[in-house]
Amino acid sequence: MAEKEVVETSEAQIAVHWQEEKYIYPSTEFIAQANMTDKTIFDRFSLDNFPNCFKEYADMLTWYEYWHTTLDTSDAPCFKWFVGGKINASYNCVDRHLKEYKNKAAIHFVPEPENEKIEHITYQELYARVNEMAALLRDFAGLKRGDRVTLHLPMTAELPITMLACARLGVIHSQVFGGFSGKACADRIVDSGSRVLITIDAYYRGGALLDHKEKADEAVAAAEKDGQKVDKVLVWQRYPGKYSAKTPVKDGRDYFVNDLLKGYYGARVEPERMDAADPLFLMYTSGTTGKPKGCQHSTGGYLAYTAGTSKYVQDIHPTDVYWCMADIGWITGHSYIVYGPLAIAASSVVYEGIPNYPDPGRPWRIAQELDVNIFHTAPTAIRALRKIGPDEPKKYNYHFKHMTTVGEPIEPEVWKWYYEVVGKGEAAIVDTWWQTETGGFLCSTLPALAPMKPGSAGPGVPGIHPIVYDDEGNVVEPGTGKAGNICIQNPWPGAFQTIWGDRDRYVRQYYERYCKNPDSKDWRDWPYMTGDAAVVAADGYVRILGRIDDVINVSGHRLGTKEIESAALVVEEVAEAAVVPVAHEIKGREPDLYVSLKPGYQASAEIEKKVMDAIVSEIGKIAKPRHVWIVPDMPKTRSGKIMRRVLGALSNKQPEGDVTTLANPEIVEQIKEMVTKA
């Protein structure tokens, strides 16, 4: 019996194979103003000049003490950058800009309701608010250098302010995406060991003022059950002075930040002088097992890398108005709304709501009003806006010089709409491929130096040297048309340092497979495995096909199939659960869920609903499957392994292939009938 056939369904397997597209060149106007037009940058950042090339990025920052060692590999593959250097991220993103830019907007906060005024927060105001919040966190919440604090905040200006206040004190923040459930927040509180939770009473999404405080109550209760006591919940108010949630305020535990801040008016807090390798934040992401992992990012290396790539790939100048429509609860927002752009004195837009509220013209009205000239979003948003408002961009008078797509592969057709309609044929596009773990971009074109190719991310950015291996560890050469596992040959300053509290998992998951010698202290022996499948064309442009592991990319957000399956198993009646990715017109991928029931239970709409509800409460709405299929049994190999490949094929209406080696081949027809009928 061929166990070899037990291939799990992965995104890469259902990837579409697009045609190689023709180059499109950036305009001379764009090139004339670009930050990086010097082709020798690739020589400067070649492997021969590694690791010292990254001094160029570190020198964009202000250091209290300069480092003595660029890269310390003594604890490989936990690499340390800029050792000996002392630095503070909050100082670099705020204080140092005051001299030149104190009167310039650092953040434009755009509330979702259109009748509420946009808030323009200057660097001076940001400085005052970050300092006052830092004083509160230190003196009221008792937080100090090295402590972890969990933030569960939506997209309002309070989120970057809170992050920068933490960074000022050397407190490690762990921001949980606002759309995640209280339970998901609790898991992250427990794993990070946070005794303070920072949240908000309510926020707008899709026209509704959502009660967010109730999630904090759930989170604190669930965390306590798991042994982590939260003694303070700091609650920002969406409307200062007014409580917009229904859930009661718990005396002695819940405090309104807006009230407390009055006691810190005018406070100034000296920034902590952090070691470059001290952690700045944790960002949890889905992995191959059920438990989300806390990617630990450094202070000096991370900030240098996000500053450098914001300048050269995003082409941000202090005079630009830059809008990244991602959520700060994901890595894109950390690196390319907050830390990277603010480190180089950008004016960064923070938009509270959804792109199509109240109509699909909204993003373009915001762009027009603020005169946004750099725009950054994900294919899922582009697909949605293209579908519901294909002609909307033309109605508004805005001009982008530069646009980014990030988070998932973008179909050439969608790319072209983005280029011609949203960008009005004027904007240079970068398709940036990277990950939570990598801190910043891995592959992209430098916008003024290389042409765009729809559907391809581009070559490695300066200092990133990709390599593709097949399953046996042989190098797959560019231009052969063969796909393989894309890895990065060298470390870089933006890379995460470890998984919080689990170094073994870090080594196992990212380095073990292609490690040349596990005892080696030489970085050359430790290629980083990304977990994506890719094809590299002869010109070195990388086309990402999708995940090779059991992670599904839904609307550009990573979800672990195991996480969804364990949420389904919380329902008493459920015996087994299997999640497979299914192609979706807007979201790219969507999870499809199969469950079988314990003996004695009958399939019913009620159980289906219970399963759906469990997923929403365990993880959040984003993890909702397309459908819950209650099947009489799972297709299994004779050794009892669920054949997700077969389920994946059925969900995607693809041929299911050879099923004769299954223990129960007859079940496939039954499931097929069920899925095609619906």
Under the criterion CB under 6 A, does residue 436 sit at the interface with ligand WTA? yes
Under the criterion CB under 6 A, does residue 434 sit at the interface with ligand WTA? yes
Q: Which is nearer to ligand WTA, 147 or 408 (CB)?
A: 408
Binding segment for ligand WTA (CB under 6 A), chosen from 89-97, 406-414, 499-507, 633-641, is: 406-414
Task: Give least dist CB 155 to ligand WTA, A.
Answer: 16
Under the criterion CB under 6 A, does residue 509 sit at the interface with ligand WTA? no
Binding segment for ligand WTA (CB under 6 A), chosen from 112-120, 230-238, 404-412, 474-482, is: 404-412
User: From CA 71, how far away is CA 296, in angstroms rounded?
Assistant: 17
Task: Give least dist CB 313 to ligand WTA, A.
Answer: 12
Under the criterion CB under 6 A, does residue 498 sit at the interface with ligand WTA? no
Residue-level length of the chain: 678
Q: Which of 70, 194, 553, 555 binds ligand WTA (CB under 6 A)?
A: 553
Q: Which of 77, 271, 355, 407 binds ligand WTA (CB under 6 A)?
A: 407
Under the criterion CB under 6 A, does residue 645 sit at the interface with ligand WTA? no
Under the criterion CB under 6 A, does residue 487 sit at the interface with ligand WTA? no
Name residues contacting ligand WTA, limited to 510-549 (CB under 6 A). 530-532, 544, 546-547
Under the criterion CB under 6 A, does residue 453 sit at the interface with ligand WTA? no
Closest to 478 in 3D by CA, of 459, 492, 461: 459
User: From CA 628, how far away is CA 593, in angstroms rounded?
Assistant: 5
Q: Which is nearer to ligand WTA, 315 or 549 (CB)?
A: 549
Q: Which is nearer to ligand WTA, 564 or 646 (CB)?
A: 564
Q: Which is nearer to ligand WTA, 108 or 547 (CB)?
A: 547
- Tell me the backbone φ, ψ of residue 175, rounded to 5 degrees: -90, 125
Beta-strand relationship, 528-536 and 293-298: unpaired
Under the criterion CB under 6 A, does residue 486 sit at the interface with ligand WTA? no
Give CA angle at 163 (250, 318), nearest 5°.
145
Task: Give least dist CB 545 to ligand WTA, A.
Answer: 8
Q: Which of 174, 435, 445, 651 binds ligand WTA (CB under 6 A)?
A: 435
Under the criterion CB under 6 A, does residue 445 sit at the interface with ligand WTA? no
Residues 4-30 as b/e (b if ≥16 CB within 10 A, e otherwise) read: eeeebbbbbbbbeebebbeeeebeeeb
Secondary structure tally for the chain: helices H, strands E: 21, 30
Task: Write the binding mask 319 to 338 for ligand WTA: x where contact by CB under 6 A, - elsewhere.
Answer: -----------xxx------
Q: Which is nearer to ligand WTA, 330 or 398 (CB)?
A: 330
Closest to 449 in 3D by CA, of 44, 59, 60, 53: 44
- Residues in binding contact with ligand WTA, number by CB under 6 A: 23
Q: Which is nearer to ligand WTA, 197 or 382 (CB)?
A: 382
Residue 678 burial (CB < 10 Å; 0-12/13-18/19+)?
Answer: exposed
Give the pair of three-digit tokens for residue 285.
Answer: 């992401």
User: From CA 349, how far away is CA 5, in angstroms rounded?
Assistant: 49
Give the pair of three-digit tokens for residue 146.
Answer: 């090295």
> 572 — alpha (psi -120 to 50), left (phi > 0) or beta?
alpha
SS3 187: helix
Give the pair of three-digit tokens for residue 332.
Answer: 């894109």
Under the criterion CB under 6 A, does residue 409 sit at the interface with ligand WTA? yes
Beta bridge partners of 321: 347
Would you give the DSSP letter of residue 176?
Answer: P
Give the pair of three-digit tokens for residue 345.
Answer: 């004195």
Task: Give least dist CB 483 to ligand WTA, A.
Answer: 13
Q: Which of 432, 490, 509, 561 binds ligand WTA (CB under 6 A)?
A: 432
Q: Residue 155 contacts by C-beta under 8 Å, 6 or more apart in sequence? A: 178, 203, 327, 328, 350, 351, 352, 353
Task: Give least dist CB 582 to ligand WTA, A.
Answer: 16
Q: Strand locations in 371-424, DSSP E? A: 374-377, 402-406
Going from the C-alpha of 218 to that of each of 185, 246, 505, the distances in angstroms are: 9, 14, 29
Under the criterion CB under 6 A, does residue 563 sit at the interface with ligand WTA? no
H-helix or E-strand spanning residue 467: strand 466-469
- Tell me the backbone φ, ψ of residue 151, rounded to 5 degrees: -110, 135
Under the criterion CB under 6 A, does residue 408 sit at the interface with ligand WTA? yes
Q: Which is nearer to ligand WTA, 194 or 530 (CB)?
A: 530
User: From CA 257, how far away is CA 220, in angstroms rounded?
Assistant: 18
Beta bridge partners of 580: 592
Q: Which is nearer to ligand WTA, 139 or 512 (CB)?
A: 512
Under the criterion CB under 6 A, does residue 431 sit at the interface with ligand WTA? yes
Task: Give least dist CB 563 to ligand WTA, A.
Answer: 14
Q: Which is nearer to ligand WTA, 111 or 466 (CB)?
A: 466
Task: Write the binding mask 274 to 313 for ligand WTA: x where contact by CB under 6 A, - elsewhere.
Answer: -----------x----------------------------
Binding segment for ligand WTA (CB under 6 A), chosen from 38-46, 400-408, 521-529, 665-673, is: 400-408
Under the criterion CB under 6 A, does residue 406 sit at the interface with ligand WTA? yes
Give the pair of three-digit tokens for residue 384.
Answer: 């949605």
Q: Residue 606 contacts by C-beta under 8 Å, 6 or more apart in sequence? A: none
Residues 206-217 as b/e (b if ≥16 CB within 10 A, e otherwise) read: eeebbebbbbbb
Under the criterion CB under 6 A, does residue 383 sit at the interface with ligand WTA? no
Q: Which is nearer to ligand WTA, 138 or 334 (CB)?
A: 334
> Site residues (CB under 6 A) for ligand WTA?
285, 330-332, 406-409, 431-436, 457, 530-532, 544, 546-547, 553, 558
